[in-house]
């Protein structure tokens, strides 16, 4: 489903007087006509769901299209011409700064740039802003950082662009919000020189985002949360030498995933008796009386492949995490095998092992 977030700008205009009573400075004029409803910027993104284990301070939307903001500042002397000089060599150059947001709750890094993340009205959802001046050109900087450039004329105009992106900041849950409000105020400030005096004027305009955004945390129902697998008995002749294997026994782990959300399913198998084990030998449980033998688990899709164990974690990129399926919806069944392996001098008795599995939806 395609979701749209509309940022509505409220324009604040004011007149400012500079150092001399003879100097009159016209207000900054912010052109909001190039977007519908005077939108400060518009985020349009398709988001079918957010994985329940998606890390905080990662993006949950793309960047909005660049939003043009076209301010113009002029000053004159009794209508007789432009005598106010914007001079970046004798005073700080003009800056465009995003201000007025709530304090940042964290940061988000992209392409080597760190953006402060500001909270929205919806718990768990924040936003970032980037901005740049295109005439004269400037670098792209995060919202909250002044853009500086040196004016080149007594009447100086410039075009600037701003854009926004939504960021996950915490647990969101399954929500369907009718309005996400992102308070933003921009302050435009120029400093110039008139008759040897340095004076400053500034103006602000603000925007509030309203729109619809649906978040559905993705999870699947485990159909086999507890499973007992009984292996066939073996004799010493079944394991004639070190590392020989015998009697693979099949079993399946099943899930049911929402049909409305397509996800990638990952799984980590953990040795319950040795959680730090990252090898492929499953430790025997206390009470096992046999020795010289261990168990191994194999994925049984196509050619059986050994499974290495990992930590009990759903974090993306967990060591030895297995990709089980992509674009998974509905019922899923994952086939495995468990087998004996000889690891030393054999001594008869019981063989028991316990493994756990942790799902990750990404």
- Which string of DSSP letters, residue by residue, matches 96-113? EEEE-SPPP-EEEEETTE
Quick check: 354 pLDDT over 80?
Answer: yes
Whether the bond into 69 is cis, omega within 30 of 0? no
Domain ranges in the chain with CATH number 2.60.40.1090: 219-361
Provide the β-strand partners of residue 198.
Answer: 193
Question: Is residue 179 predicted with pLDDT exceeding 60?
Answer: no
When pLDDT is averaged across residues 51-65 and rounded to a whole number, the result is 77
CA distance 57 to 105: 10
Lowest mean per-residue pLDDT among 76-85, 169-178, 285-294:
76-85
Tokens of 43: 């985020």
pLDDT at 326: 83
| pLDDT given for residue 211 in this prediction | 41
Q: Name the residue among 301, 303, 295 with its Cα closest to residue 336.
A: 301
Contacts 24+ apart (CB under 8 A), 270-273: 270/309, 270/310, 270/311, 270/312, 270/355, 270/356, 270/357, 270/358, 271/309, 271/355, 272/354, 272/355, 272/356, 273/353, 273/354
The pLDDT tens digits of the residues spanning 29-42 come to 333 333 333 344 55
Least confident among 54-63, 88-97, 174-183: 88-97
What residues pair up with 192 in beta bridges, in sequence order? 199
- Pairwise CA distance, residues 50 & 277, whole Å: 31
Helices (H), the chain: none
Instruction: Answer with the residue of higher pLDDT: 123 or 106.
Output: 106
- Going from the C-alpha of 163 to that of each of 111, 160, 166, 185, 362, the distances in angstroms are 15, 10, 11, 14, 27
195-244: per-residue pLDDT in tens?
344 444 444 444 444 344 555 556 677 887 788 999 899 999 999 999 99
Q: Any residues with CB less than 8 A from the CB of 284 and at least 6 apart, and which?
A: 273, 290, 293, 294, 295, 351, 352, 353
Tell me if residue 38 falls in helix, strand or coil. helix
Mean pLDDT rounded to a whole number for the chain:
69
Q: Which residues neighbour 83 within 8 Å (Cβ) at sequence distance 6 or greater?
A: 23, 75, 76, 77, 154, 194, 195
Query: How deeply is 300 buried, as exposed, middle or buried, from its count of CB atoms within 10 A (0-12, 13-18, 19+)?
Result: middle
Mean pLDDT of 15-24: 31
Class of domain 219-361: mainly beta
Q: Minimum mean pLDDT among 222-226, 250-254, 267-271: which range? A: 222-226
């Amino acid at each position: 489903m395609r979701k749209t977030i509309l940022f509505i700008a409220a324009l604040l205009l004011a007149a400012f007087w500079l150092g001399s009573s003879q100097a009159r400075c016209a207000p900054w004029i912010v052109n909001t006509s190039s977007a519908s409803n005077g939108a400060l910027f518009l985020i349009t993104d398709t988001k079918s769901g957010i994985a329940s284990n998606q890390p905080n301070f990662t993006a949950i939307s793309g960047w909005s299209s660049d939003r043009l903001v076209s301010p113009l500042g002029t000053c004159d002397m009794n209508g007789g011409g432009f005598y106010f000089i914007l001079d970046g060599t004798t005073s700080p150059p003009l800056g465009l700064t995003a201000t007025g947001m709530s304090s940042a709750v964290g940061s988000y890094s992209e392409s080597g740039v760190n953006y402060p993340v500001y909270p929205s009205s919806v718990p768990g959802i924040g936003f970032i802003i980037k901005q740049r001046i295109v005439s004269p050109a400037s670098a792209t900087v995060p919202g909250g950082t002044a853009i500086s450039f040196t004016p080149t004329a007594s009447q100086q105009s410039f075009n600037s662009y701003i854009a926004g992106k939504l960021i996950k900041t915490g647990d969101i849950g399954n929500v369907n919000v009718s309005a996400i409000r992102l308070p933003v105020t921009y302050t435009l400030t120029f400093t110039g020189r008139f008759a040897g005096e340095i004076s400053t004027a500034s103006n602000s305009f603000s925007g509030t985002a309203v729109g619809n955004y649906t978040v559905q945390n993705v999870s699947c129902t485990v159909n086999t949360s507890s499973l007992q697998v009984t292996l066939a008995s073996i004799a010493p002749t079944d394991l004639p030498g070190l590392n020989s294997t015998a009697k693979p026994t099949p079993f399946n782990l099943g899930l049911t995933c929402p049909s409305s959300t397509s996800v990638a399913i990952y799984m980590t198998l953990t040795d319950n008796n040795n959680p730090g084990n990252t090898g492929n030998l499953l430790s025997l449980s206390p009470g096992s009386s046999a020795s010289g033998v261990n168990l191994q688990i194999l994925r049984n899709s196509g050619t059986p492949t050994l499974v290495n164990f990992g930590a009990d974690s759903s974090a993306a990129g967990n060591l030895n995490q297995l990709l089980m399926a992509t674009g998974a919806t509905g019922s899923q069944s994952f086939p495995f095998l468990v087998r004996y392996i000889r690891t030393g001098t054999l001594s008869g008795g019981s063989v028991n092992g316990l493994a756990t599995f942790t799902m990750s939806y990404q």
